[in-house]
Structure 1
Amino acid sequence: MKYIIAILGLLVVVGLAVLVSSDRKKIKYKPIILMIIIQLILSFLLLNTKFGLVLVKGIANAFGKLLEYAGEGISFVFGGIANEGQAPFFLNVLLPIVFISVLIGIFQYLKILPLVMKGIGVVLSKINGMGKLESYNAVASLVVGQSEVFITLKKQLGQLPPHRMYTLCASAMSTVSMSIVGAYMTMIEPKYVVTALVLNLFGGFIIASIINPYTVDEKEDILIVQEGEKQSFFEMIGEYILDGFKVAVIVGAMLIGFVALIAAVNSVFDMAFGITFQEILGYIFAPIAFIMGVPASELISAGGIMATKLVTNEFVAMIELTEIAGNMSERTLGIISVFLVSFANFSSIGIISGAVKGLHEKQGNTVARFGLKLLYGATLVSVLTSIIVSIIL
C-alpha cells in the first residue's frame, strides 16, 4: 500500500509543479527521472545500509564533537546562568552556531570550500541538465547559507535573466546552511537531517526543472565567484564569529515572537471555536501528509507540524515535533523530520529578496515578485523528499 501512496504522491507533486510551469513544452523528463532514481538510491544507502549507518554516525559524531567544543566557550561565558540539570535552548542549540560559523570561515579562507563547491557543482550540472552556475549555487547555498550565497555571485547578479534568478533563489530556499545543521541534530535524528540535506539538493533541481524549464547556452554558462575582501586570518575569524552570533540572536528573537504568537492565536481560537489554530491547519495539511505516506491516525498532528513550519520556521516546528514525538510512530517521525529540514517558509521570501536587493536593487525587486512561487516550489521539494523517504522507511 505504501508504494501505491508513494506513486500517487509523486504524480501529485509533479502535477502541481506542471500546473505552474512557465513553459510545459520545455520540460525535460529524462534528467528528472534520473534524479528521482538517484534520490531513491541515496535515501536507501543512508537509511537502510551499514554504509549509511556508519556515514551518518560519523557525521553525527563529528557535529557532536563540534557542539562539545562550542559548549566549552558557552560555559565560560554563560556558566551559572542555568539551574543545574536545565538545558536552555538558546545556549545549547543556537549559540553553537557561532563556533560552526567560524569553522566555515576557516575553510573558506583556506580556499577549500570554494574548490569543493565548484567541483561538486560541475558534476551536478552533468546530471541535472542545468548550468554550472545553478549547480554551484545549490551547493554553495548548502554550505554558506541562503542569503550569503548571493554575495559569492555578486558580479553576475545584474546579468542574469529572471528565469535563472528564480532557479538560484529556489535552491537557496530548498536547502539549509551547514552552520545550523548541528542545531537541527539536537532536535531530530541526525540520519534524517543528513538524508534531507542530500535529497533536497536534487529535489530543488527536479522541481525547478518543471516549474521553470530552460536551456542554458554554453557560452552564457560562465561561473564567476566573487572573492571577498582580502583579510588577515584573525580579521576573518572575528567577522565569522559576529556573523554566527547574529544568526543565533535573530533565530532566537524569531522563536520568541513566533512561539508566543502561536500560543496566543491557539488560545483565542480555542476559546472562540473550541479548536486551536494549529489543529485547523492540521486538517488543511492532512491531505498533503497523506500523499507523503503518513498513517491515517497521525495525519492531523503531522499536518499541524507541517503548517507550523510553513507559517513560522523550521525551528518552531522542530520544537513542537519533539514535544509530541512520543505519540508518533517511527515512520511518521522520519517523514515529518525530513520535511522540516529546509528554509521553505514565508519569512525566507523576505530574507532572500532582501539579500539580493542589497546587492542589486533591480534583481531584488524581481525576486520579490515571484516570492510566492518560490515558496510554492520549495514546499514541493520538501514534500518530494518526504515521499522518497516514505518509500524506504
Structure 2
Amino acid sequence: MERFQGLIGIILILGIAFLASNNKRRINYRLVISGILLQITIAFLVLKVTPVTNFFKWIGNQIGHIEGFAKQGASFVYGGIMVDNHAGGTLPYGAEQMFIFGFSVTATIILVCALVAIFYHFGIMQKIVSVIAIAMNFVMRVSGAEALSNVASAFVGQVEAQVMIQPYLKGMTMSELLASMSGSLACIAGGILIVYVNFGASPEYLLTASLMAAPGALVISKIVWPETEESQTMGKVKLEVKSPYSNVIDAISHGAGDGFKIAMNVIAMIIGFVAVIAMLDFILGKVGVWTHMDFVLSLDWIFGKLFYPMAWAMGVPSKDVNAVATLMGTKITINEFVAFFNLTHGVSATLSPKALMIVSFAICGFANFSSVGMQIGGIGAIAPERRTDLAKLGMRALLCGTLASYLSATIAGILMG
C-alpha cells in the first residue's frame, strides 16, 4: 500500500510542477524521464547494491572521523568543555549532561571548509564536479552551465556553486538560471551536511539525497520553465575556475575563516528561530485557551495539517504522517536546521525506519524562504545584471527545490518498500 502511495506522490509532485509550468507545450519529456531514471538508479545503487551501500557507509564513518579531528582542534581552544568525561566528574552550572553543540558544530564546519579549500586549491574539487557534470550532461542532455552548477551544489554552498559558473551567468537563459537556483536550493553543502550528522542524522541518507537532488532539481525546473532559448553551453562541460589561494597555507586560512563565518551564522539562526518559535507557540497556546480549543494550538499542529496530504502521498506510514508533515512544514517555512534539530532531538525515536528515511530525504536541502533571499543577494552580487531575473525566479526556485527533495524522498521510499 505504501508503495502505491509513493506512486501517487510522484504523480502529485510532477503534477504540481506541470501546473506551475510557464510553457507546457515545450516541456522536454526525454529530459524529465532520463532525470527520474537517473534518480532511481542512484537510489537503487546506494540502497540496494551491497558494495555501493558499504561504500557510502564507509564515507559516513569517515565523516565521524572528521568530527573527531575537529574536536581535537576545538579542545585545544576550549579545553575541558570539549572532553566527554568532564574533569572532576561534575559539569558546569550543575548541568546533568554535557551539551556542547555550539562548540562542536563550530569546530566541524571550520575543519570541513578548510578541507574544501585545500581540495579547491589543488583542483580536486573542480575535477570531481566536472566528471559528475559530464555524466549528467550525457544522460540528461542539459547545458554545461546548469549541469556544473547543480553538481557543484552537492559539494559547496549555494552561492559558491554559482561562482564556479560565474563566466556563464551573464549569458545564461532564464531556464538555465532557474535550474541553477533550484539545484542550489535542493542540495546541501558538505560543511552543512556534517552539521546534520552532528545532530544525529544518517550520513548515508544525506549523501544520497544530495546526489539525487541534482538531477531531480533539473527535472522539476525544466517542467516549470522549459528551455525555449539557445544556450551558450549546450553540449559543453568546461570548468575554468583557478584557485584564488597563493598556497595551501593560504587555502587553509581562508577556508577556516569562511567556515567560522558560516558556523556563526548557523548558531545565530538556530538561536533566533528556536526562540521565535517558542514565543509563537506560547502566543498560539494562549489563543487556543481563550477560544476554548480542545487541543494545544501550535506551529507543529498547523504544519502537521498543511503538509499532511503530501507526506501521506510520499509513502510515509500512516502513524508517522503527522510528525513527518510537521517537519516538512518547519523546513520550508523556517529552515532546515530547525527541522533536523527537531528530528534528531526526539522525533526520530518515534518514527518507523521508512518514515525516518523519507523525512531525512525530504528536509535535506536549502529550500526555504530565507535561502531565496540569500540567493538573490549572493548571486546578484557576482552577476548584478541578472538581479531582476533572480528576483523574478526566486519563488519558482523555492518550489522546484522543494519538489525535487520530495521527489527524491518518494523514490527512496518506494525502493525501500
Q: TM-score, length-normalised on structure 2?
A: 0.90
Q: How does 1:133-144 map to 2 (within 5 A)?
A: 133-144=145-156
What's the CA shift for 1:251?
0.7
Pair 338,219 (structure 1): closer, same or farther in 2 beyond 3 Å: closer
Q: Read off the aligned partner of 2:380 and give its amino acid letter.
A: K
What's the CA shift for 1:280?
1.1
- Aligned equivalent of 1:2: 2
Of 242, 246, 260, which aligns to 1:231? Answer: 246
2:133 aligned with 1:121: yes
What's the CA shift for 1:228?
4.7
- Aligned equivalent of 2:386: 363
Pair 372,63 (structure 1): closer, same or farther in 2 beyond 3 Å: same
Pair 230,262 (structure 1): closer, same or farther in 2 beyond 3 Å: closer
Q: Read off the aligned partner of 2:173 and give its amino acid letter.
A: P
Q: How many Å separate the matches in 2 of 1:68 and 1:34?
A: 40
Of 260, 263, 268, which aligns to 1:253? Answer: 268
Q: How does 1:24-63 map to 2 (within 5 A)?
A: 24-63=24-63
Q: How many Å separate the matches in 2 of 1:198 and 1:229?
A: 27
2:305 aligned with 1:283: yes
Q: Read off the aligned partner of 2:400 and give its amino acid letter.
A: G
Q: How does 1:198-209 map to 2 (within 5 A)?
A: 198-209=211-222
Calculate the aligned-residue CA RMSD, in Å.
1.8
Pair 161,202 (structure 1): closer, same or farther in 2 beyond 3 Å: closer
Residues 105 and 236 in structure 1, CA contact (< 8 A), matched pair in contact too: yes
- Aligned length, in residue pairs: 393
Q: TM-score, length-normalised on structure 1?
A: 0.95
What's the CA shift for 1:163?
2.5
Residues 144 and 233 in structure 2, CA contact (< 8 A), matched pair in contact too: no
- Aligned equivalent of 1:152: 164
Residues 145 and 176 in structure 2, CA contact (< 8 A), matched pair in contact too: no
Residues 101 and 243 in structure 1, CA contact (< 8 A), matched pair in contact too: yes
- What does the per-residue CA deviation read over 1:365-392, in whole Å, with 9 as the maximum and x for residues that have no partner? 3212221111111111111111101102
- Aligned equivalent of 1:80: 80
2:369 aligned with 1:346: yes
Residues 173 and 230 in structure 2, CA contact (< 8 A), matched pair in contact too: no
What's the CA shift for 1:347?
0.9
Q: How many Å separate the matches in 1 of 2:317 and 2:144?
A: 40
Quote the sequence identity (%).
28
Q: Read off the aligned partner of 1:145 and give its amino acid letter.
A: G
Pair 253,107 (structure 1): closer, same or farther in 2 beyond 3 Å: same
Q: Read off the aligned partner of 1:200 and give its amino acid letter.
A: A
- What does the per-residue CA deviation read over 1:300-338, in whole Å, with 9 as the maximum and x for residues that have no partner? 221111111111211110111122211111111111011
Residues 173 and 375 in structure 1, CA contact (< 8 A), matched pair in contact too: yes
What's the CA shift for 1:52?
3.3
2:114 aligned with 1:102: yes
Q: Read off the aligned partner of 2:250 and give its amino acid letter.
A: E
Q: How many Å separate the matches in 2 of 1:200 and 1:229?
A: 28
Of 281, 284, 295, which aligns to 1:269? Answer: 284
Gaps of 5+ in 1: none
What's the CA shift for 1:224?
5.7
Q: How does 1:217-228 map to 2 (within 5 A)?
A: 217=230, 220-221=233-234, 223=238, 225-228=240-243
Q: Read off the aligned partner of 1:50 and give its amino acid letter.
A: T
Residues 156 and 224 in structure 1, CA contact (< 8 A), matched pair in contact too: no
What's the CA shift for 1:236?
2.0
What's the CA shift for 1:202?
1.7
- Aligned equivalent of 1:162: 174
What's the CA shift for 1:134?
0.8
Residues 335 and 390 in structure 1, CA contact (< 8 A), matched pair in contact too: yes
Q: How many Å separate the matches in 2 of 1:188 and 1:163?
A: 34
Q: How many Å separate the matches in 2 of 1:52 and 1:365?
A: 43
Q: How many Å separate the matches in 2 of 1:105 and 1:315?
A: 24
Q: How many Å separate the matches in 2 of 1:232 and 1:226?
A: 16
- What does the per-residue CA deviation read over 1:227-266, in whole Å, with 9 as the maximum and x for residues that have no partner? 3545232222211110011001001100000011111111
What's the CA shift for 1:23?
1.5
Tell me the secondary structure at the aligned position of residue 242 of structure 2. coil
Q: How many Å separate the matches in 2 of 1:99 and 1:224?
A: 25
Q: How many Å separate the matches in 2 of 1:241 and 1:94?
A: 10
Of 308, 318, 323, which aligns to 1:296? Answer: 318
- Aligned equivalent of 2:258: 243
Of 225, 228, 234, which aligns to 1:212? Answer: 225
Between stretches 326-335 and 34-43, larger displacement belongs to 34-43
What's the CA shift for 1:215?
5.9
Gaps of 5+ in 2: 92-96, 289-295
Residues 355 and 364 in structure 1, CA contact (< 8 A), matched pair in contact too: no
